[in-house]
Amino acid sequence: HMFYRAINHNDISSIGYCQLKDNKVIKRFKEPVLFPEFDYEKEGVEDPRITLLNQTFYLFYTAFDGQNACIAYATSNDLINFVKKGLLSSNITYKEASEIFRQENIKEEYFIWKLHLETKFKELNLLWDKDALLFPKKINNQFALIHRIRPDIQIIYFQNFKDLTDDYWKAYLKELKKYILLEPKFQFENQYIGGGCPPIETEDGWLLIYHGTEDTPFGNIYHAAAALLDLKNPLKVLGRLKEPLFSPKAPWEKSGVTNNVVFPTGAVIKDKRLYIYYGAADKLIAAKSVDLTELLTQLKKNP
């Protein structure tokens, strides 16, 4: 089952659905599964990631209103009928968040990205929060959710979705340094990083496929990357590839709506291989596979 982002001629995105068998499309809905209905998502519902946990499918997506990008989610029991649950991220403005960051001595890069977004979106208000990935198992009896406030990847823990109030987020932001999962570290991710595929449980740890954005003289290049996280404490990083897992190489990955993009958002294991599904230049959807044991071995060689 694949959920994908599609954009119409008015540049409004929605989420489509198709079924794959042996990596060939055997069924595809003519209408979107999710589309903009509310003011907070009026300019698009984007970048879906889905996780099955305790018989419930949780589909997380980015809700975009033209200025603000926030995390929203919907649930389903049958993968067809989804109930939107609204925004998950906070109503905290970038101005409020910046005050908290300043008081807590959060690194300068967070302020740089605030200025960058304010330049691009003149009416920027809320703290941008994207790339939500839910772990498919509770950790210490809590939901564990990966998200991204530029430039890093962070994690939150909570007992119930209703607990994610503005007070929760303010307290969380004050301790943000404790919850940074990954920071940009290598040349291929020198601008920022973000979540990719929902974490996959292996004997060696949680396998996280993420994306890294490289700032080059020729513009941004998006790469796919991999990290290995401790099963009991995902904040403990066990391994991380020093080079991209894969990068834009094919003509259709290098040229499209947005050039030089490989953007992984879903992965499955089949016959001991990891199949990664990704957006290519924001125009096509493609897949690559890698031997799972080989990948885990390489990750463990780079603690």
CA distance 200 to 50: 12
CA distance 24 to 55: 26
Sort residue 155 into left (φ over 0), alpha (ψ -120 to 50) or beta: beta
DSSP-assigned letter for residue 47: E
Backbone angles phi, psi at 247, to 5 degrees: -135, 165
pLDDT value of position 95: 87
Q: Is 84 within 8 Å of 51 (Cβ atoms)?
A: no
Cβ count near 71 (within 10 Å): 21
pLDDT per position in the chain (303 positions), as tens? 999 999 999 999 999 999 999 889 999 999 999 999 999 999 999 999 999 999 999 999 999 999 999 999 999 999 989 999 999 998 999 889 999 999 999 999 998 888 888 787 766 689 999 999 999 999 999 999 999 999 999 999 999 999 999 999 999 999 999 999 999 999 999 999 999 999 999 999 999 999 999 999 999 999 999 999 999 999 999 999 999 999 999 999 999 999 999 999 999 999 999 999 999 999 999 999 999 999 999 999 998
Sort residue 86 into left (φ over 0), alpha (ψ -120 to 50) or beta: left
pLDDT value of position 117: 82
Rg (CA), the chain: 18
DSSP-assigned letter for residue 196: -
pTM of the predicted structure, to 2 decimals = 0.96
- Which amino acid, residue 62? T
Task: Give 188: exposed, middle or buried? Use CB within 10 Å, 0-12, 13-18, 19+.
Answer: buried
pLDDT value of position 24: 93
